[in-house]
Chains A and B, each alone.
Chain A
Amino acid sequence: MTTANETAVAKYRNNFLKEVEATVEEGHWVKMCMQCGVCAGSCPFGPHWEHSPQKIFMMIRAGKRDEVLKSDSMWMCTSCYNCMVRCPRELPITHIMHGLANYAYRLGLSPKGQPNQAIAKLFWDSALKYGRVNELKFSLAMYFRDGFVQGVKNALAMQSVGLGLMKAGRLNPMEIISGHTCKDTSGIHKMIAKAREIEDRRRGLA
């Protein structure tokens, strides 16, 4: 059985730009970059990325598929939207970064253990399961991500914040047992499954 990645490679062969256009959210904008570098200069995380958006776009055009998809650069985006409001060509850079990250994840190429990726996954898992994010379970899942001992340590470190939230009525400890969900969870599950099916078909990831 071929992996999604092998299918994509075979389909687009050497033309990574076309692959990005077809499969990445807002990917058709990549060709419009004029390499001015304003995004790279605007990013508050600039020094911490291996590749700035400008370079990512250039690498896509240069067909550097593996380097782009295995990069952790787009996972570093904090969605501050600085690049996007400043881009003279009005590229939706933030969205493209998330689109690339998502695509890399779907192909199984994204860097393992990338912390932002782990958080994103926990967030969406919760949202998809309950139809909303269960903040208590999401937080605990994060604390215990690296094992029980580390989880207890994390929880204790955040103890005062948790108590404060409880006092203010912003956190219900009973949520850990059942937790409130949206009205029709199974309906939500079906809806999301259908949406995913449609999208995956369009992106060739089925």
Chain B
Amino acid sequence: MNAPANKFAAYICSGCGLGDVLKVAGLEKVAKTEGKMAVIKTHPFLCNAEGVKMIQDDIANDGVTHLCIAACSRRAKTEAFSFPTVAVARANLREGVTWIVAEGADHDEVRQEMAEDYIRMACAEVKKLILPAGNKKESSSKKILVVGGGMSGMTAAQAAADAGYEVVLVEKTGALGGFANQMWKRMPFNAPHAEAQPTGAVELAAQVSANPKIKVYLNSTVAETAGAPGRFAIKIAQESGSISEELCGAIVQASGFSTYDIAKLPELGGGQQNVVDQAGLEALAKAANGGPIKRADGKEVSSVVFVQCAGQRDDSGTHLPYCSGHCCGTSIKQAMYFKDQNPDIDTVVMYDDLRVPGMGEDFYRSAQTKGVIFTKGKASKVTGGDSCNVTFKDLILNEENTIPADLVVLATGQVPNAGVELDEWNATATAADSGDAAAIEKKTALQKISVLNMNYRQGPDLPQLKYGFADSHFICFPYETRRTGIYAAGPMRRPMDMHQATEDAVGATMKAIQAAENASLGRAAHPRAWDLSFPKARLEGCTQCKRCTVECPFGAIDEDEKRFPLFNEERCRRCGTCMGACPVRVISFENYSCDSVGMQVKAVNVPDEEDEKPRILILACENDAYPALDMAGMQRLTYSAFVRVIPVRCLGSVNTVWITDALGAGYDGVMMMGCQKGDNYQCHFVKGSEMAYYRLSKIGDTLKGMGLEPERMQTYEIAITDAARVAKLINEYVEQLNEMGPSPMKGFG
């Protein structure tokens, strides 16, 4: 953008009643004298065709390059006010002022002051904006790498190929099919959900192998993942020792699960003769091939007990704490293997809570019809041997009981194969770097577990959310991981059955395709998928403190050989956490920077002490808190006209300089509004709000140094539904500040 050619214009809307309650002439005057806008126009209905045409004409004929639109919230009328060739700042006069300031002439003065401040802020912001040029990459790869050739992986590969994308499928064993190859049958996917079905793994494997768009590497592992979405450089280590290289656009990791080790359950007969896990029973059923199922010693099974939740849902800390979700359905299916072959075989499923998600209830009913007996009980002891005995507590009859059985099946859970746990990795790698021999050995062992072997600064695999599963936020962003362009599918994301895994695979593939396409357009991934800006660093000012590289929630920043941050823009989600982290403020986006916000903070007219009009700065996360504030306006709730709201991309992008600047300029308080943090986080950038809270917890000393009470800076967790709560919080805080009295910094700013 050529600086001298910049031409700034302000457009003020007087529609939606703005002109009735605001003095538009006053707003125009502010835009002219203080905002220094070259063009100032007022329109009674700015978002209608005529108003928009007026702006378009000015852009086309008058050389306007920067717009300040003073109308409704930036979240409203986005289509009408979409001017992709110029930089735009929006002053929120409707949801932010006229809808939330109390009605009546008593409030005319503060309402007008609030509106004028928003004009000042938008004019200040627009001067610091540069229209992002974007970074289109013609050479960007759209090939999809699928890691894992089980049901999830094969389904993902097939889905991507069906959508017209080239696929590279890497499978570590010598055959496609994964766990399904060990299975006799699967649970039904379709109505009437009554009978076990052939797995279909062999057919799918044949389809995938024959598909010209899918290149299958068997007996291979991913030796290195480098690069970023659109340019992942994958090294594939083959059995022969040779390394193939593939350039991929996005990755679907479908590395599956392992069964929980039955030997860890000696009290339930683990390790004993005639006590098997579900995988063991599949093997027996496969060997029987539809005939009578025989035990390892060759005896036909005439009675079998399935013990559910074996080594699962354990609150003692010894075994898996979670429910693997599929095992009830799997035991039902396996009980049917017996009943279908011979209805006289006694089959008992011993459960605590029978959990059959989806249409599994029909499958459960079908097994009952076949005569499978379901006993609500908790097994405490299983003896193996020629006739096994299951000792259990009957939870309905409330008594101890024992059932004899030829065979006992333990429903153990799924353990994710998600790769290396990053905290463990980083601790080991640091110790290994300092020369610790044991650590070096452990690091080598960990490298073997690693699935992706990423060369990212933050570690070789996907971050794990809970219990070793590589999930991100399973409700808001399924398949998303905390590594851009890498999507998780199947039981390595969360425990699941085969039907869920195949659905998962298709979902993850669609996300992967989207990521590869966005990367080629130079756009961010979810949730700012339209965003063309990316962080730029003034490296000559960088002190190599590494905060940005450590704090980036998505591992987008590596270090170059001189130990400066190396931004991988395709990995970036544009949350700005790096910008908030930087103590020397050298990181910025073209359309979002320390200056673009800082100048807004400074543009506000802070009244003197004797005016008794406090000023409170609100930095509100654009994902949840800002919409909640808008909704407060839509619901015509009222809150104090003394606040000035600035939307931020994420609380993680808040640089503490904004807060110290504001308080130094005489603001009486600062409210920070972000998403819920912690284990049940709702932050759209995973760690952004957490980082912000962490940083701000240390700001108290700075405030004390300025002679200010720490209460002048407050943080809040706001959900998008909190419209009423946010209005209440504002009013309470204003009340609290009134009691504290004006900021002692007033008049020094």
**Cα–Cα distance between A89 and B369 once the two chains are bound (Å):** 12
Evaluate contact between A32 and B394: CB separation under 8 angstroms. Answer: no
Known: A34-B364, A34-B374, A35-B374. A62 touches B369 (CB 8 A): no
Evaluate contact between A54 and B396: CB separation under 8 angstroms. Answer: yes
- Would you list which residues of chain B between 360 and 398 have a CB under 8 Å from chain A? 364-365, 368-369, 371, 373-376, 394, 396-397
Evaluate contact between A17 and B396: CB separation under 8 angstroms. Answer: no
Partner of B371 from the list A31, A35, A55, A58 (CB cut-off 8 Å) is: A31
**Cα–Cα distance between A168 and B637 once the two chains are bound (Å):** 72
B430 in the interface (beta carbon within 8 A):
no
Min distance, Cβ A54 to any Cβ of chain B, angstroms: 7
Evaluate contact between B373 and A31: CB separation under 8 angstroms. Answer: yes
- Would you list which residues of chain B between 334 and 376 have a CB under 8 Å from chain A? 346, 354, 364-365, 368-369, 371, 373-376
Min distance, Cβ B157 to any Cβ of chain A, angstroms: 39
Q: Which residues of A contact B394 (CB under 8 A)?
A: 58, 62
**Cα–Cα distance between A17 and B396 once the two chains are bound (Å):** 17
**Cα–Cα distance between A31 and B370 once the two chains are bound (Å):** 9
Min distance, Cβ A66 to any Cβ of chain B, angstroms: 14
**Cα–Cα distance between A54 and B375 once the two chains are bound (Å):** 12
**Cα–Cα distance between A90 and B373 once the two chains are bound (Å):** 18
B207 in the interface (beta carbon within 8 A):
no
**Cα–Cα distance between A32 and B365 once the two chains are bound (Å):** 7
Known: A31-B368, A32-B368, A34-B364. A58 touches B397 (CB 8 A): yes
Q: Which residues of A contact B544 (CB under 8 A)?
A: none
B56 in the interface (beta carbon within 8 A):
no
B635 in the interface (beta carbon within 8 A):
no
Cβ-closest chain A residue relative to B375: A61
Evaluate contact between B373 and A61: CB separation under 8 angstroms. Answer: yes
Q: Which residues of B contact A61 (CB under 8 A)?
A: 373-375
B197 in the interface (beta carbon within 8 A):
no
A142 in the interface (beta carbon within 8 A):
no
Cβ-closest chain B residue relative to A31: B368
A122 in the interface (beta carbon within 8 A):
no
A8 in the interface (beta carbon within 8 A):
no
Fill in one digit per residue for B392-430: 1 if any A CB lies within 8 Å of its CB, else 0: 001011000100000000000000000000000000000
**Cα–Cα distance between A89 and B394 once the two chains are bound (Å):** 22
Fill in one digit per residue for B107-131: 1 if any A CB lies within 8 Å of its CB, else 0: 0000000000000000000000000
Evaluate contact between A55 and B373: CB separation under 8 angstroms. Answer: no
**Cα–Cα distance between A62 and B346 once the two chains are bound (Å):** 12
Bin chain A's interface residue count. 10 to 19
Min distance, Cβ A15 to any Cβ of chain B, angstroms: 8
Give the interface centre of A17, A34, A54, A89 by most chain B CB atoms within 10 Å.
A34
Evaluate contact between A58 and B368: CB separation under 8 angstroms. Answer: no
Cβ-closest chain B residue relative to A28: B369
Min distance, Cβ B371 to any Cβ of chain A, angstroms: 6
- Would you list which residues of chain A between 35 and 90 have a CB under 8 Å from chain B? 35, 54-55, 58-59, 61-62, 89
**Cα–Cα distance between A15 and B371 once the two chains are bound (Å):** 12
Q: Which residues of B contact A55 (CB under 8 A)?
A: 396-397
Q: Which residues of A contact B354 (CB under 8 A)?
A: 34
Min distance, Cβ A177 to any Cβ of chain B, angstroms: 53
Q: Which residues of B contact A17 (CB under 8 A)?
A: 373
Cβ-closest chain B residue relative to A67: B397
**Cα–Cα distance between A62 and B376 once the two chains are bound (Å):** 11
Evaluate contact between A35 and B396: CB separation under 8 angstroms. Answer: yes
Q: Which residues of A contact B397 (CB under 8 A)?
A: 55, 58-59, 62
Min distance, Cβ A37 to any Cβ of chain B, angstroms: 8
Q: Which residues of A contact B373 (CB under 8 A)?
A: 17, 31, 61
Q: Which residues of A contact B346 (CB under 8 A)?
A: 15
**Cα–Cα distance between A38 and B365 once the two chains are bound (Å):** 17
Cβ-closest chain A residue relative to B365: A32
Cβ-closest chain A residue relative to B361: A34
Q: Which residues of B contact A54 (CB under 8 A)?
A: 396
**Cα–Cα distance between A54 and B396 once the two chains are bound (Å):** 8
Fill in one digit per residue for B600-625: 1 if any A CB lies within 8 Å of its CB, else 0: 00000000000000000000000000
Cβ-closest chain B residue relative to A88: B361
- Would you list which residues of chain A between 9 and 37 have a CB under 8 Å from chain B? 15, 17, 31-32, 34-35
**Cα–Cα distance between A31 and B373 once the two chains are bound (Å):** 7
**Cα–Cα distance between A55 and B374 once the two chains are bound (Å):** 13
Q: Which residues of A contact B375 (CB under 8 A)?
A: 58, 61-62
**Cα–Cα distance between A192 and B368 once the two chains are bound (Å):** 35
Evaluate contact between B396 and A58: CB separation under 8 angstroms. Answer: yes
Q: Which residues of B contact A59 (CB under 8 A)?
A: 397
Min distance, Cβ A117 to any Cβ of chain B, angstroms: 24
Partner of A35 from the list B365, B376, B401 (CB cut-off 8 Å) is: B376
Min distance, Cβ B5 to any Cβ of chain A, angstroms: 72
Min distance, Cβ A180 to any Cβ of chain B, angstroms: 48
Q: Which residues of A contact B368 (CB under 8 A)?
A: 31-32, 34
Min distance, Cβ B716 to any Cβ of chain A, angstroms: 43
Q: Which residues of B contact A35 (CB under 8 A)?
A: 374, 376, 396
**Cα–Cα distance between A35 and B354 once the two chains are bound (Å):** 10
- Would you list which residues of chain B between 530 and 545 have a CB under 8 Å from chain A? none
Min distance, Cβ A91 to any Cβ of chain B, angstroms: 11
**Cα–Cα distance between A61 and B371 once the two chains are bound (Å):** 10
Cβ-closest chain B residue relative to A40: B396
Q: Which residues of B contact A62 (CB under 8 A)?
A: 375, 394, 397, 401
Q: Which residues of B contact A31 (CB under 8 A)?
A: 368-369, 371, 373
Cβ-closest chain A residue relative to B376: A35
Cβ-closest chain B residue relative to A57: B396
Cβ-closest chain B residue relative to A54: B396
Cβ-closest chain A residue relative to B354: A34
**Cα–Cα distance between A164 and B373 once the two chains are bound (Å):** 55
Min distance, Cβ A155 to any Cβ of chain B, angstroms: 44
Min distance, Cβ B391 to any Cβ of chain A, angstroms: 14
Q: Which residues of B contact A15 (CB under 8 A)?
A: 346
**Cα–Cα distance between A34 and B349 once the two chains are bound (Å):** 12
**Cα–Cα distance between A34 and B368 once the two chains are bound (Å):** 9
Known: A58-B376, A62-B375, A62-B401. A32 touches B369 (CB 8 A): yes
Min distance, Cβ B675 to any Cβ of chain A, angstroms: 38
Q: Which residues of A contact B376 (CB under 8 A)?
A: 35, 58
**Cα–Cα distance between A59 and B396 once the two chains are bound (Å):** 9
Min distance, Cβ B402 to any Cβ of chain A, angstroms: 11
**Cα–Cα distance between A33 and B369 once the two chains are bound (Å):** 10
- Would you list which residues of chain A between 81 and 127 have a CB under 8 Å from chain B? 89
**Cα–Cα distance between A17 and B368 once the two chains are bound (Å):** 12
**Cα–Cα distance between A203 and B522 once the two chains are bound (Å):** 78
Q: Which residues of B contact A32 (CB under 8 A)?
A: 365, 368-369
Cβ-closest chain B residue relative to A64: B397
Cβ-closest chain A residue relative to B373: A61
Q: Which residues of A contact B396 (CB under 8 A)?
A: 35, 54-55, 58
Q: Which residues of A contact B369 (CB under 8 A)?
A: 31-32
Min distance, Cβ A185 to any Cβ of chain B, angstroms: 44
Give the interface centre of B365, B394, B397 by most chain A CB atoms within 10 Å.
B397
**Cα–Cα distance between A126 and B371 once the two chains are bound (Å):** 40
**Cα–Cα distance between A36 and B396 once the two chains are bound (Å):** 10
Cβ-closest chain A residue relative to B371: A31
**Cα–Cα distance between A54 and B374 once the two chains are bound (Å):** 13
**Cα–Cα distance between A35 and B395 once the two chains are bound (Å):** 10
**Cα–Cα distance between A55 and B396 once the two chains are bound (Å):** 7
Known: A17-B373, A32-B365. 20 other contacts (CB 8 A): A15-B346, A31-B369, A31-B371, A31-B373, A32-B368, A34-B364, A34-B368, A34-B374, A54-B396, A55-B397, A58-B375, A58-B376, A58-B396, A59-B397, A61-B373, A61-B374, A61-B375, A62-B375, A62-B394, A62-B397
Q: List 17 A-B contacts (CB under 8 A).
A: A31-B368, A31-B369, A31-B371, A31-B373, A32-B365, A32-B368, A34-B374, A35-B396, A55-B396, A55-B397, A58-B375, A58-B376, A58-B397, A59-B397, A61-B373, A62-B397, A62-B401
A-side residues, CB < 8 A to B, are 15, 17, 31-32, 34-35, 54-55, 58-59, 61-62, 89
9 nearest CB pairs, A to B: A58-B396, A32-B368, A35-B376, A61-B373, A31-B368, A58-B397, A35-B396, A55-B396, A31-B371
